[in-house]
Amino acid sequence: MKKNNIKKNWPLVIAILFFSYAAHAQRSTSFLELGVYGMTQNYLGDVNNNSLGALTQEARFGMGTQLKYNFSSILSVGADVNYGSIYSHDNLHGNVDRDYQVDTDLLNLNVFTNIHFIPFGKYNLRNTHTPFIHIGMGALTYQPHLNTNAQYPDEIELYPGTGQTFTYALGFGWRIRRSLKTFYNLGIYYNGFGVSNIEGFNYDEDFGWGSAEVSNTLDGSVTFKFGMSLGFFDQ
């Protein structure tokens, strides 16, 4: 008798499971998002003593695009590609006689994750903005342009060619809803480089005040991003 009741109820059980799954799928907070952005980058390294004292004079513009998948209203992962440059000159930091210059083009390909502080996205329409944390890493291709007028001592090794390395990014940003499916995205990030010759030159171990690996490990850039993105989902 009990087995017969179970068999008779199978269609009902299947129907309940189906409609439960359908309801969950309809309320899923996941969606795909495509964005573009402009950015400025400021070099941090030996030439400017890791200083942002010439922030506006040394800022260089770039642009990029990103594709990301929002797993939920809190967590997303994505891929990002951008092109820009970094710049610095001794004249802006009190070393007029030395005349060293940083002028390096950067092509950056990253994967990243964003973590929102406030539920944001597909169904959280009442939350019109949220801060977020950005963590990323990727591959960097760089091309330095050396100052041919500078007099480099023998203790400095020159690297004028194109190089490749890894990079990592840590930062903080803010997302603002513009409309149902469009968003403004602002952020400030620190980008660390995996090489010590991003400037196109490096100090060898005979320079006197330290080895090249010690003196250049903190080279990187500060990046400001400002852009817009479009979400792909049905409401």
What are the Cα distances from residue 3, in Å, to 6, 10, 16?
5, 11, 20
Rounded CA gap, 194 and 142, in Å? Answer: 11
- Tokens (6 digits) for 75: 């967590």
Rounded CA gap, 203 and 106, in Å? Answer: 21
pLDDT at 208: 47
pLDDT at 222: 96
CATH 2.40.160.20 fits 32-232, yes or no: yes
Helix, strand or coil, per DSSP, at residue 122: coil
pTM exceeds 0.95: no
Nearest residue to 130 via CA among 139, 120, 141: 120
Strands (E), the chain: 31-44, 60-70, 75-89, 101-116, 129-144, 156-158, 163-177, 182-193, 201-203, 220-232
Rounded CA gap, 66 and 111, in Å? Answer: 9
DSSP symbol at 58 = H
pLDDT tens digit sequence for 81-118: 999 999 998 888 877 778 888 999 999 999 999 999 99
pLDDT tens digit sequence for 109-164: 999 999 999 999 888 788 999 999 999 999 999 999 988 787 888 778 888 889 99
**Are the C-beta atoms of residues 143 and 157 closer than 8 Å to each other?**
no
Q: Where are the domains of the chain?
A: 32-232
Mean pLDDT (the chain) is 85
pLDDT at 12: 55
Helix, strand or coil, per DSSP, at residue 187: strand
Does residue 25 or residue 207 have the better pLDDT? 207
Q: pLDDT tier at 23 (50, 70, 90 boundaries)?
A: very low
What are the Cα distances from residue 145, in Å, to 44, 100, 104, 222?
17, 11, 6, 20
Nearest residue to 118 via CA among 51, 175, 181: 175
DSSP symbol at 177 = E
